[in-house]
């Protein structure tokens, strides 16, 4: 089955931007490829970053990317979650945006400094933006508005780690597991950020199918909080996408 996630990384003039989006797999039952919408959303984000002349506002960026899909009928149907980040290297500011159950962690001094909170309408129904269908040549919006996304701002410090991921990561690994995985190697021994992101996704995939006595996954914990009669051991076998950002000020 094709991957239903998408991501982008953009770096220009002292600004770094990055994002992940997870296509909602339920669209496959309606005969729609769930990967089309998130890929177009991320591509549009990059396009609008290239065109932007002033300060970048993440809600406006997501809104512009989504509006282009609607106005130009770029996708006939589909939806996705989204998590975006933008780093201003000059003033040391990190802005983040999250909609749905994709998310991010900020690690500082070996600890979880912040983890984004998931947004759900119901169990397994995350906040999302999308297209319901095309009617009379016009795309019908589906789901939430970009205005429903949560935005945060952080002052970054040297050696901070920022991890963006789709729910395939956060359903299977707690923040401390994520940090341990990306910290098990360092650039000094030849493992670059791309290598660490690959290591992280492999670990999440392994945990999604691996049952270990006494080990609870974030997905299990979430299901039991929703309904304590829902006992479904193990993780969530799903696509996994991760973007790793390591802050070095020196």
Whole-prediction pTM value? Answer: 0.91
Give the phi and the psi of residue 168 in degrees, each rounded to 5. Answer: -60, -25
**Residue 242 to residues 22, 163, 170, 249, Cα–Cα distance (Å):** 11, 7, 10, 23
Helix runs in the chain, H state only:
36-51, 58-71, 167-170, 175-183, 193-209, 218-226
User: What string of pLDDT tens digits covers the 250 residues of the chain?
Assistant: 458 999 999 999 899 999 999 999 999 999 999 999 999 999 999 999 999 888 899 999 999 999 999 999 999 999 999 999 999 999 999 999 999 999 999 999 999 999 999 999 998 899 999 999 999 999 999 999 999 999 999 999 999 999 999 999 999 999 999 999 998 765 544 458 888 898 898 988 888 787 666 677 888 888 777 776 666 666 677 789 999 999 998 7
Residue 127: strand, helix, or coil:
coil
Sign of the alpha-carbon torsion through 17, 28, 201, 99: positive
Structural contact between residues 114 and 152, judged by C-beta atoms closer than 8 angstroms: yes
**CA distance linking residue 144 with residue 193, whole number of Å:** 33
Give the gyration radius of the chain's Cα atoms: 18
CATH number, domain 5-167+239-247: 3.60.40.10
């Amino acid at each position: 089955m094709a991957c239903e996630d998408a991501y982008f990384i953009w770096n220009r003039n002292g600004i770094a931007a990055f994002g992940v989006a997870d296509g909602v797999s339920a669209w496959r039952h309606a005969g729609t490829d769930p990967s089309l919408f998130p890929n177009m959303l991320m591509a549009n984000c990059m396009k609008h970053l290239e065109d932007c002349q002033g300060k970048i506002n993440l809600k406006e960026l997501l809104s512009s990317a989504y509006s282009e899909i609607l106005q130009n009928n770029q996708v006939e149907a589909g939806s996705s979650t989204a998590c975006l980040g933008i780093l201003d290297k000059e003033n040391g500011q990190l802005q983040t945006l999250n909609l749905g159950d994709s998310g991010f962690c900020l690690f500082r001094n070996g600890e979880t400094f912040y983890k984004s909170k998931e947004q759900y309408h119901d169990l397994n129904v995350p906040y999302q933006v999308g297209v319901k269908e095309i009617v009379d040549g016009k795309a019908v919006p589906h789901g939430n508005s970009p205005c429903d996304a949560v935005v945060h701002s952080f002052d970054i410090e040297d050696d901070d780690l920022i991890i963006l991921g789709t729910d395939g990561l956060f359903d299977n690994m707690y923040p401390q597991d994520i940090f341990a995985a990306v910290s098990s190697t360092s650039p000094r021994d030849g493992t670059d950020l791309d290598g660490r992101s690959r290591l992280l996704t492999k670990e999440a995939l392994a945990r999604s199918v691996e049952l270990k006595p006494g080990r609870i996954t974030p997905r299990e914990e979430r299901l039991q909080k929703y309904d304590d009669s829902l006992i479904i051991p193990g993780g969530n076998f799903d696509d996994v996408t991760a973007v790793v950002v390591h802050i070095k000020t020196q």
